[in-house]
Amino acid sequence: MFRKFLKRMPKDNGMSELDWQDYYINKALPLWNDEARSLLNELVSPVPELFRDVAKEKIGGRVSKIALEEHATTIELDHIMRGYIVATPKRDHKFMKKKLTELNIDYTPYLKLFELADDEKNKFSIFDHREEISNAKTTHTQ
């Protein structure tokens, strides 16, 4: 509960982590097609039901930011993968990789992003690392 309070605290720019998350989700809503929504729901299915909505919003916010920065016309698997990896806490990577394997989604092109993932020891905003995440797309598509 205290973490949620801290995430509502405004930063230097006047907006909190959750304000930015809501902003990106709302702005990118038209980019989310049924397939992308379905995949996001499937990816968060291993998360305990009590926390699933929070996880979905956190990941959805990060995915939305990536897509908006790249002027995407729709949310693609690549956007979802990059947002999903960075927004998922490192302690949950084992479960995440298992779920991706079950869905036959190859995560090896994104291995560098696992280093940027949310880490309790080195706390940062999930909306950081813009350049590294953009470079991961370039590396993946070459």
Tell me phi and psi for residue 124, to 5 degrees.
-150, 170
- Please tell me the predicted confidence (pLDDT) of residue 78: 97
> Which DSSP string corresponds to 15-44?
--HHHHHHHHHHHHGGG--HHHHHHHHHHT
Whether 140 has a pLDDT exceeding 90, the answer reads: no
Closest residue by Cα to residue 25 from 62, 54, 78, 50: 62
Q: What DSSP element (H or E) covers 85?
A: helix 77-87
Q: Summarize pLDDT for 12-64 with one digit per residue, the tens.
A: 666 778 888 999 999 999 999 999 999 999 999 999 999 999 999 999 999 99
Task: Report the alpha-carbon distance of residue 42 to residue 65 in Å, rounded.
Answer: 20
Place of tokens 């702005």: 27
Locate 48 and state its tokens: 């305990």
Q: Who has greater pLDDT, 50 or 1?
A: 50
- Please tell me the predicted confidence (pLDDT) of residue 18: 86
Whether 133 has a pLDDT exceeding 70, the answer reads: no
Cβ-based neighbours of 118, under 8 Å, separated by 6 or more: 86, 87, 88, 89, 90, 124, 126
Residue 117 per-residue DSSP state: S
